[in-house]
Amino acid sequence: MTTLTAGISPVRAPAFAHSVLPDLATTRFKRRLDIEFSGSGSEYFRIWIVNLLLTVVTLGLYLPFAKARRLSYFYANTLIDGQALAFHGNPWRMFRGFLLLALLMLAYGVAGRFSPVAGLIAFGLLCAVWPALWRAGLQFRLSNTSWRGLPFSFRGDLAGAYRCMLPTYLPAMLMVVCQFLWAPAPGAQPEDPAFYALITFGPLLLLFGLLPWGLALIKRYQQGGYVYADQQATLSTSIGSFYSLALKGLLVTLVPVALAGVGAAVLIPLIKSGALGQTAAIVLLAGLGLLAYLLLLVIMMSYFSARMQNLVWCKTGSSALQFDSQLSARSLGWLNLKNWVLTAITLGLYRPFAAINTTQLRLSAMKVTVDADMDEWVTQAGAAQQDAAGEAAGDFFGIDMGL
């Protein structure tokens, strides 16, 4: 077992400080909370394999139960200031929601097979309900997570969930409408190629251009909805920093793309000249292509997810809580690479170990500072009364909190 300890925790302020110096007392409570993750790969492997067997034998019906067990294990091993998180989700309620969602997705899949129009309508409906479902999922996950016996909650409103999706939804809708109105008949050539290019690539560029803004709104809504006791979190990251992350990410991605280009420039003349055998050339090219693709994926995913975690959690805080995250994209990249290689070699058996290692790395980068006497914290009135309809719908989705 490995235990990771983030930071040191100063000795707690003496209790009498409260009565002697009431004005200074609040700052005397300021301290950093240790975050430890004590999960073990070999133990999670055993949980995972039994979960997998039950899931496959029940043709997927066991999934929500497996998920509840997995969350319980990860939560019970996430210790903040010596107290573990607890997952309270009722697997039977999750099961009900899961069945509904499975039917929904089945109907969606079937609709697409029978006719493109029905598929488009189904996709539109899914898009229309998605923000509501996403919010309900957040509500469910948060209200079923507790620490020190107090449940978290999610206070984002429904309109806000729709609002923060607009920068991604509007260009996507524009794209569909353009194609619907002006796309040439299948097989036919467009009458005016320049105009067709404009209506095809214009909305696409708009979508990519607005993506960082949309992401910023989504993260603000999400982080800003987290509530614990009387602490309502806010995310103070500027929209500009999401754009700068996107640009840096693009630059980082360009490196492997450029390398692949150089490789192709060297290899293709070599193959054309016939110096290599036909089969050898194809195998070499396919192998290198796959390698380049995996490398690109590792670099891109690791960079974006590490930097996103830092960007979001560094600026998340409430009146008495401040979060910090210093996750190194490089160490996440190496870990991802190692995880993928070992997962491939073991035909997937390494996956639970990979999950534990990743969680450990991500959590070890996190810090929380508190500036209040937590013993005085109590549940807020009304926090227990969750939006019942939303919670039921929230069983659909397990929303991850970017950790």
User: Would you tell me which residues interact with another protein (CB under 8 A)?
Assistant: 1, 38-40, 43, 45-47, 49-50, 52-57, 59-60, 63, 69, 72-73, 76-77, 79, 82-84, 86, 88, 146-151, 186-187, 229, 278-279, 282, 343, 348, 351, 374-379, 384
Give bridge partners of residue 334 from the DSSP assignment.
Answer: none
Of 110 and 247, which has the nearer Cβ to another protein? 110
Smallest separation (angstroms) from another protein to the CB of 72: 7
Of 86 and 127, which has the nearer Cβ to another protein? 86
What is the residue type of 95? F
- Closest C-alpha to 328, from 379, 299, 365, 279: 365
Smallest separation (angstroms) from another protein to the CB of 240: 33
CA 233 from centre of chain: 18
* Residue 54 burial by Cβ neighbours in a 10 Å radius (0-12, 13-18, 19+): middle
Of 10 and 187, which has the nearer Cβ to another protein? 187
Of 72 and 328, which has the nearer Cβ to another protein? 72
Smallest separation (angstroms) from another protein to the CB of 310: 24
Q: Name every residue whose Cβ is closer than 8 Å to that of residue 75 and which is 6 or more positions away in sequence.
A: 84, 85, 86, 87, 145
What is the residue type of 84? A
- Extended strands (E) in 134-230: 145-147, 150-154, 226-228
Edge-first strand order for the sheet with 145-147 is 35-37, 78-80, 83-87, 145-147, 150-154, 226-228, 231-232
Smallest separation (angstroms) from another protein to the CB of 12: 13
- Extended strands (E) in 304-373: 316-317, 321-325, 366-370
Smallest separation (angstroms) from another protein to the CB of 51: 9
Cβ(200)–Cβ(178) under 8 Å?
yes
Cβ(121)–Cβ(111) under 8 Å?
yes
Of 310 and 386, which has the nearer Cβ to another protein? 386
Of 88 and 163, which has the nearer Cβ to another protein? 88
Of 217 and 229, which has the nearer Cβ to another protein? 229
Smallest separation (angstroms) from another protein to the CB of 150: 5
Of 70 and 220, which has the nearer Cβ to another protein? 70
Smallest separation (angstroms) from another protein to the CB of 85: 9
CA distance 351 to 357: 10
Smallest separation (angstroms) from another protein to the CB of 375: 4
- Closest C-alpha to 167, from 223, 126, 138, 208: 208
Smallest separation (angstroms) from another protein to the CB of 117: 12
CA distance 381 to 390: 19
Of 22 and 186, which has the nearer Cβ to another protein? 186
Write the CA distances from 76 to 38, 140, 298, 366, integer angstroms: 9, 18, 29, 17
Smallest separation (angstroms) from another protein to the CB of 245: 24
Give bridge partners of residue 323 from the DSSP assignment.
Answer: 368
Q: Helix 239-272 crosses helix 193-224 at what angle (to 10 degrees)?
A: 130
Of 50 and 254, which has the nearer Cβ to another protein? 50
Question: Alpha helix locations (H) across 273-328?
Answer: 278-314
Count of Cβ atoms closer than 10 Å to residue 391 Cβ: 17
Of 173 and 271, which has the nearer Cβ to another protein? 271
Smallest separation (angstroms) from another protein to the CB of 50: 5
